[in-house]
A and B are shown apart, each in its own frame.
Chain A
């Protein structure tokens, strides 16, 4: 029994670390939803394309030093997302939700095609200059990349939480999310804040691409991390930044425990399945999530 317990604790630690990295990806989604009311089905592909660009630049083909590759990746994501907002999302403002969802799905297809076509489809590694030894904290056992990922996630979640609560731009952004018309009438440049939200999502996706890329290698499979975003944001609440942390940790722990304890009995695959079951349950009880605003309409 104690062996089981130790195993559970071990899985718990892994789950928390992975969950915080999910939070980082989900944060991009929440930022966009919070500011523009748009649902971004391409968040996973943003992460993927950032990972592909950075790893390709850092690889033998281009031989950028790592810091330059990271910087180039950052610039790329910022420029790309500004263009994206301008060309694709802005014409769709005010259209039904299905239009925006389909547009981002179309975007996901484009990114999945362009990434491998420009930089080659072969999987690549993304090596960060950190040691590759396990770190043991109490009963937990982490790889350095997990700790780094969790740390970066927490730092950025705190920064963005502070940004939305305390800064002038953050408050303006929340106003824009509440009502485009009213915030426009109050003198807020709505379109600029839309662009800002997409840029922030791009920056977060770039970080996610670096972390997930160095944790699990870079190819188009990296985009699958985007599928974990939905359970995380539904659990935490679509418009809550703290909810992203909570949801991420819950999903991370749940899938680690499911993979550890249920997989042997059913023959695998529960890792991808459990988050969605949790999400369905949450949708039935509290569709707005643990920490989201209760804006949902009932009929």
Chain B
């Protein structure tokens, strides 16, 4: 009876502290890995694998923002700027110093974390609205600095071409190889976040989010942990930026503008604040939404409207639907997709005896 949740007695510390304490969660994690590692590349063609790769990249970024916003409670509208920091760091290191991918990836993350700490410093003094506006300013200022310093942005178009990533002497060129690599990074990010959240640091984040004054009183250095939150979140963002840069083969500031920050905010809010599974849901949802809308409009919309009218209004429809979805989720289901999933799970957990 692997799906039962009772009757498992933890008799040593190791089993008490394990990441997946129940057989059902081990089974679920394992089958998800099988699904994505073995089944997906066999069943899907390259186009869908590319989409899944994008989802994997977005997952890393969404996890980072969820650590900051969902767990530590610090609002940031500058997530994409940190991504651009990571992206340009990696691109410069890769092109100027010819460093391999395994070095540029963490380097991009660390550089973003350093910048994130600088941006996080005001969070000691300000919060809520003011922090939101300060991070918005960070978004514009970082974007402007990168765009206006040729040493960083590589000249006129403010974009740098990067070589294909090499891993263990193997060039990652086909979509399948890239997919596997990005999937591994995303899985590492998920597990790392799961562990972070139940560690001392993660619990300090939650304490600060729930009541910062109370957190201070029980001995948590609020300033230190807020900076941790910014640093860790920006590290994730930086890694996301590096991955995206290698994925596209070019570092361009246009990929990391305010709209992207808002996309990631939408991911963590629609997915569910303070939930790791929610970040993954959100990454899936927001990354695939434009494609779903396009497919839907091309199949259903073309019945009602002429194709050329449709082609004109498709991007506007996407914006409208995106906005509507954000608002509907905020009003109807504030805890996001994760809450929907928990409701479904709880229903089946006691099914058919719901009372």
Binding partners A and B? yes
Q: Please list the residues of chain A having a beta carbon within 8 angstroms of any beta carbon in chain B.
A: 39, 88, 91-92, 95, 97-99, 101-103, 105-114, 116-117, 121, 227, 230-231, 234, 238, 266-267, 269, 272-273, 276-277, 279-280, 283-284, 287, 296-299
Q: A267 to B158, alpha carbons, bound, how many Å?
A: 13
Contacts of B125 in A (CB 8 A): 283-284, 287, 296, 298
* Among candidates A92, A230, A296, residue contacting B126 with C-beta atoms closer than 8 Å: A296
Q: A111 to B265, alpha carbons, bound, how many Å?
A: 19
Beta-carbon nearest neighbor of B141 in chain A: A276
Contacts of B152 in A (CB 8 A): none
Q: A238 to B334, alpha carbons, bound, how many Å?
A: 27
Q: A116 to B327, alpha carbons, bound, how many Å?
A: 20
Query: Are A92 and B331 within 8 A (Cβ)?
Result: yes
Q: Known contacts being A110-B324, A238-B129, A299-B212, is A92 close to B319, with CB within 8 Å? A: no
Min CB–CB distance A85 → chain B (angstroms):
13
* Among candidates B75, B313, B327, residue contacting A106 with C-beta atoms closer than 8 Å: B327
* Among candidates B222, B266, B318, B320, residue contacting A299 with C-beta atoms closer than 8 Å: B222
Residue B216 at the A interface, CB < 8 A? yes
Between A and B, 6 residue pairs with Cβ closer than 8 Å are: A98-B132, A102-B326, A103-B326, A114-B316, A276-B141, A279-B134
Query: Are B324 and A287 within 8 A (Cβ)?
Result: no
Contacts of A97 in B (CB 8 A): 75, 128-129, 132
Contacts of B130 in A (CB 8 A): 234, 283, 287, 296
Query: Are A269 and B316 within 8 A (Cβ)?
Result: no
Contacts of A110 in B (CB 8 A): 319-320, 323-324, 327
Residue B127 at the A interface, CB < 8 A? yes
Query: Are A109 and B322 within 8 A (Cβ)?
Result: yes
Question: Considering the complex, which residues of chain B in the window 105-128 have a beta carbon less than 8 Å from any beta carbon of chain A?
Answer: 122, 124-128
Query: Are A102 and B265 within 8 A (Cβ)?
Result: yes
Residue B269 at the A interface, CB < 8 A? yes
Residue B277 at the A interface, CB < 8 A? no
Min CB–CB distance B310 → chain A (angstroms):
11
Residue B148 at the A interface, CB < 8 A? yes
Q: How extensive is the interface on chain B, given as a class?
A: 35 or more
* Among candidates B69, B122, B265, B330, residue contacting A92 with C-beta atoms closer than 8 Å: B330
Specify which of A95, A109, A267, A287 lies most central, judged by the most chain B CB atoms within 10 Å of its CB. Answer: A109
Residue B340 at the A interface, CB < 8 A? no
Contacts of A266 in B (CB 8 A): 148
Residue B22 at the A interface, CB < 8 A? no
Min CB–CB distance A73 → chain B (angstroms):
21
Min CB–CB distance A89 → chain B (angstroms):
10
Min CB–CB distance B143 → chain A (angstroms):
9
* Among candidates B138, B222, B319, residue contacting A113 with C-beta atoms closer than 8 Å: B319
Min CB–CB distance B246 → chain A (angstroms):
28
Query: Are B320 and A269 within 8 A (Cβ)?
Result: no
Query: Are A299 and B216 within 8 A (Cβ)?
Result: yes
Min CB–CB distance A105 → chain B (angstroms):
6
Query: Are B134 and A283 within 8 A (Cβ)?
Result: yes
Min CB–CB distance B278 → chain A (angstroms):
14
* Among candidates A101, A113, A116, A276, residue contacting B75 with C-beta atoms closer than 8 Å: A101
Contacts of B325 in A (CB 8 A): 106
Contacts of B48 in A (CB 8 A): none
Please name 12 further chain A to chain B contacts, defined as beta carbons within 8 Å, in addition to the given A97-B75, A98-B69, A227-B140, sorted by A numbering: A99-B330, A101-B75, A108-B323, A111-B323, A113-B316, A234-B130, A276-B136, A276-B140, A276-B141, A296-B125, A296-B126, A296-B130
Contacts of A238 in B (CB 8 A): 129
Q: A107 to B262, alpha carbons, bound, how many Å?
A: 12
Residue B197 at the A interface, CB < 8 A? no
Q: A227 to B322, alpha carbons, bound, how many Å?
A: 20
Residue B288 at the A interface, CB < 8 A? no
Q: A216 to B145, alpha carbons, bound, how many Å?
A: 27
Query: Are A109 and B320 within 8 A (Cβ)?
Result: yes
* Among candidates A101, A106, A111, residue contacting B322 with C-beta atoms closer than 8 Å: A106
Query: Are B317 and A113 within 8 A (Cβ)?
Result: yes
Query: Are A299 and B124 within 8 A (Cβ)?
Result: yes
Residue B93 at the A interface, CB < 8 A? no
Specify which of B122, B147, B330 lies most central, judged by the most chain A CB atoms within 10 Å of its CB. Answer: B330
Q: Known contacts being A98-B269, A102-B265, A112-B319, is A279 close to B327, with CB within 8 Å? A: no
Beta-carbon nearest neighbor of B137 in chain A: A276
* Among candidates B122, B132, B216, residue contacting A284 with C-beta atoms closer than 8 Å: B122
Rank and list the top 6 A-B pairs by shortest CB-CB distance, nearest first.
A109-B323, A106-B326, A113-B319, A113-B320, A110-B323, A106-B323
Q: Known contacts being A113-B320, A277-B141, is A105 close to B262, with CB within 8 Å? A: yes
Beta-carbon nearest neighbor of B265 in chain A: A102
Residue B37 at the A interface, CB < 8 A? no
Query: Are B75 and A280 within 8 A (Cβ)?
Result: no
Beta-carbon nearest neighbor of B134 in chain A: A283
Contacts of B124 in A (CB 8 A): 299
Residue B213 at the A interface, CB < 8 A? yes
Residue B144 at the A interface, CB < 8 A? yes
Q: A102 to B65, alpha carbons, bound, how many Å?
A: 14
* Among candidates A95, A101, A267, residue contacting B334 with C-beta atoms closer than 8 Å: A95
* Among candidates A102, A114, A234, A287, residue contacting B320 with C-beta atoms closer than 8 Å: A114
Beta-carbon nearest neighbor of A273 in chain B: B144
Query: Are B320 and A103 within 8 A (Cβ)?
Result: no
Min CB–CB distance B181 → chain A (angstroms):
32
Q: Known contacts being A109-B326, A114-B320, A269-B148, is A88 close to B133, with CB within 8 Å? A: no
Query: Are A105 and B326 within 8 A (Cβ)?
Result: yes
Query: Are A106 and B324 within 8 A (Cβ)?
Result: yes
Q: A39 to B327, alpha carbons, bound, how many Å?
A: 15
